[in-house]
Structure 1
Amino acid sequence: MTFFRRCVLPLRCLPLRRRHLPLLGVVALLLMAVGCSGSSHSMRYFHTAVSEPGPGLPQFIAVGYVDDQPIDRYDSITKKDIPQVSWMEEFGNDNPKYWETETQKRQGWESISRVDLVTLRKRFKQQNSTGVHTLQLMYGCEVGPDGQLREGRFQYAYDGEDFLALDRGTVTWTARVPQALVTKSRWETETQDAEFQKSYLEGTCVEWLQRYLGYGSKTLLRTEAPVTRVARKKGYDGQETLFCQLYGFYPKDIEVTWMKDGEDRRAETMTGGVVPNSDGTYNTWLSIEVDPKEKGRYQCRVGHDSLPEPLDLAWEEPASNLLLIVEVVVGVVLAAILLVVGVTVYMRKRRAERGYKATPGSDQGSDNSTRVEVPDA
């Protein structure tokens, strides 16, 4: 049995030949839009098949992404390719047969993956083993700020380990484990599969990425500036670590480095990488170990599409504890004085009111008293 039988029927081919939807003349304009954004963009598809499905774990799942935003999803339970964002629904409305065709392709992939999992278990001598075995496929492309292809990948994994990958440079398949050599040999001698996938990654994938960016431009081409913070942590050896923290920025591409007296100190820094947030934005951090006496010479330089020019962030000493204590004491004293004044005014007012109501006769007597007139001189 041949592992990874390719394109036995047209609908069972990879969802790469999108000739059912003509490319519009807006591709050039979209390329210009992406070029002006200053950031890279990507389109990737992830397929996952499992040998033993369970609750919440379909036997086959396929999800498409533009940048880090899921755009469509198919699984073996729903049996349909379904849009995941509103602008993909709009895309489907403009292309009525799109979702039907994509669903048929995913169903073909589901059938192939079941056969391939059986074949792989034989290759790895796991016919009688228990537990879940997985087959994964990832393929897609990334374009740079100029809209040109920066990276294209087509690779398989089995049980979480690399299995087979396309080398675009040599137009051959790279076997990551001995069990993949049979597949590599067959694909390179019996088919033109490597050529086909290379052509897809360098042409069709880039073109369709531009179309999707056009429909999703309000979210995918937006910019959100990072919220910045510089923090400090004391070490045990007399040194200190400065942290440059950035939150809530979009797009993902960002340039961050620590500078000392204007000199790039990238080689001395550590970073946690760029991590997505639940709201679609990103965060990252960068740290560097410094001599406490020299921390004023360091600045964190940040470059991002949302910024008209790079930011230079420095550590700022917070107010001293003594100053904070003085401020608190002064605040308490002022509050106490205001309270005393308020109570005094209130009590005087109350006493005045009581005196007015308690002596009404006095007021009348004053009005009826005999006035002494001063005689004319």
Structure 2
Amino acid sequence: MRRVSPFCSVGWGPGSPRGLGWAKGASGCGGLSLSLPADPGPHLLRYFYTAVSEPGPGLPQFTVVGYLDDQLFFHFDSEGKGAQPRAPWIQAEGPEYWDRQTWIAKGWQEPFNGNVRIAMEHYNQSLHTFQYMYGCQLRADGSTGGFWQYGYDGRDFLSYDTRTPTWVAPSKEAEITKGKMEADRRLSQQQRDYLERKCVEWLQKYLGYGKETLQRRERPAVRVTGRDAPDGPTTLCCRAHGFYPRDIALSWLRKGESREQETWRGGVLPNGDGTYHAWATVELDPRERGLYRCHVEHESLAQPLVAVWGEAGGQPGSQPGVGCDRGASLDPSPGRGVTAEPAWISARAGV
């Protein structure tokens, strides 16, 4: 799985090398995607540090945000008064916690801004962005993993391989910085200790605070709609709404066989109440409508659900609309249109 960060930018903090191995060629803001491990597990703690050379309305020069799973809980920026809670459960931490987080974030601010200035001295470009992401995951089997990545001007720049452990430079531009990072053995040990132990401890602590929301299970409501094109194929759309946690599997089956190559998915998107929705469509011969089923798997379901078009009020010819948000609802219960089937150190890392 590859997730795209919510910010387009990264930087360097206390303890990072001051001389950067930048090279001309990477510029702009829009292509940066910091990749996470293949299995993000049921719970994920992430921090994003961002700096830009040209701040503007709604875009502070320096920003730090923290996410537990997909929920924002921590925010700091250079225009505000200090670190601020963004989720009710994190307020279990008292004033000393927030004072310390403000001090930590301000400690990173000048190094980040300094590296923006260094880049501007090297290249005649008006906008530069830096981003730094780190965190850890707690997988379903109880195992853990960590990640530590830097990005520059819309591209991955440097990442830490916890298995080796070594720094990985995806391009020759990052080789100088990679050498400086690996030469600091003390820093490397602090990073490894944070990722393997301290980050996981904080993740588990935060899960305890937010267990009522973060560890809840909300069943999806399933809706199937259909649209007939004049002298053309029929489009069936399956939409799952109001589920939590985020991971869900929607698939179309024809006579019990997957039609993966013919399925188009719209992604998993958040609702305003903290739940999610997702949809999947398939095109088919109108004469084969009755052969298709939408198969839904989610952690909240003891068994998968199968939604059948045309039952429980399904309307031939109805318009799916954007995100397949129109049509007849299917009752997600057996026999009613849906059938059940067998901081490298805690004082410096912002946490």
Q: Does 1:105 align with 2:107?
A: no
Please list, as runs of the form range in 1=range in 2, the aligned pairs for 1:4-153 lying within 5 A after superposition. 4=12, 6-7=14-15, 40-90=42-92, 92-93=93-94, 97-122=96-121, 125-126=122-123, 128-130=124-126, 132-149=127-144, 151-153=145-147
2:289 and 2:193 map into 1 onto residues whose CA distance is 52
Distance in 1, Cα, partners of 2:196 & 2:99 = 26
Out of 150, 168, 171, the residue aligned to residue 162 of structure 2 is 168
Question: Are the aligned partners of 2:226 and 2:236 in contact in 1 as well (CA < 8 Å)?
Answer: yes
SS at match of 1:272: strand
Q: With CA pairs under 8 Å and 6+ residues apart, which has the higher RCO, 1 or 2?
A: 2
Gaps of 5+ in 2: 1-10, 17-40, 318-351
**Given that residues 79 and 107 in structure 1 are in contact (C-alpha distance below 8 angstroms), is that contact kept between their aligned partners in structure 2?**
no
TM-superposed CA distance for 1:296, in Å, is 1.1
Once the 2 structures are TM-superposed, how far is the Cα of residue 220 of structure 1 from its aligned partner? 0.9
State the SS of the aligned residue for 2:75.
Answer: strand
Q: 1:152 to 1:243 in 2, by over 3 A?
A: farther
TM-score, L = length of structure 1: 0.68
The change in CA–CA distance for 1:202 and 1:304 in structure 2 (over 3 A counts) is same
Give the structure with the larger helix fraction: 1
Query: Hey, what does 2:286 align to over in structure 1?
Result: 292
SS of residue paired to 2:46 = strand
Aligned residues: 281
Deviation for aligned residue 1:5: 6.3
Matching of residues 209-358 of structure 1 within 5 Å: 209-235=203-229, 238-316=232-310, 318=314
- Larger proportion of strand: 2
Q: 2:179 is matched with which residue: 168, 173, 185?
A: 185
One-letter code aligned to 2:276:
Y
The 1-side partners of 2:96 and 2:262 are apart by 54
Given that residues 310 and 316 in structure 2 are in contact (C-alpha distance below 8 angstroms), is that contact kept between their aligned partners in structure 1?
no
Aligned mates of 1:242, 1:215 — CA distance in 2: 42
Q: Which has the larger radius of gyration?
A: 1
What's the TM-score, normalizing by structure 2?
0.73
Deviation for aligned residue 1:189: 2.4
Amino acid at match of 1:60: F
Aligned residue in 1 for 2:348:
none
Q: Is the 8 A contact 2:252 2:292 kept in 1?
A: yes
Which amino acid in the other structure matches residue 292 of structure 1?
A: P
**Which secondary structure state, in structure 2, belongs to the residue aligned with residue 278 of structure 1?**
coil
Cα RMSD for the two superposed structures:
2.5
Deviation string, structure 1 residues 221-242 (Cα, Å, up to 9, x no partner): 1222222111223357733332
Give the Cα–Cα distance (whole angstroms) in 1 for the partners of residues 253 and 189 of structure 2.
Answer: 45
Aligned counterparts of 2:14 and 2:46: Cα–Cα separation in 1: 20
Give the deviation of 1:316 after TM superposition. 0.7
Structure 1 position 192, deviation (Å): 4.7
Whether the 8 Å CA contact 2:13–2:109 is kept in 1: the answer is: no
Distance verdict in 2 for CA 1:140–1:235, change over 3 Å: farther
Corresponding residue of 1:357? none
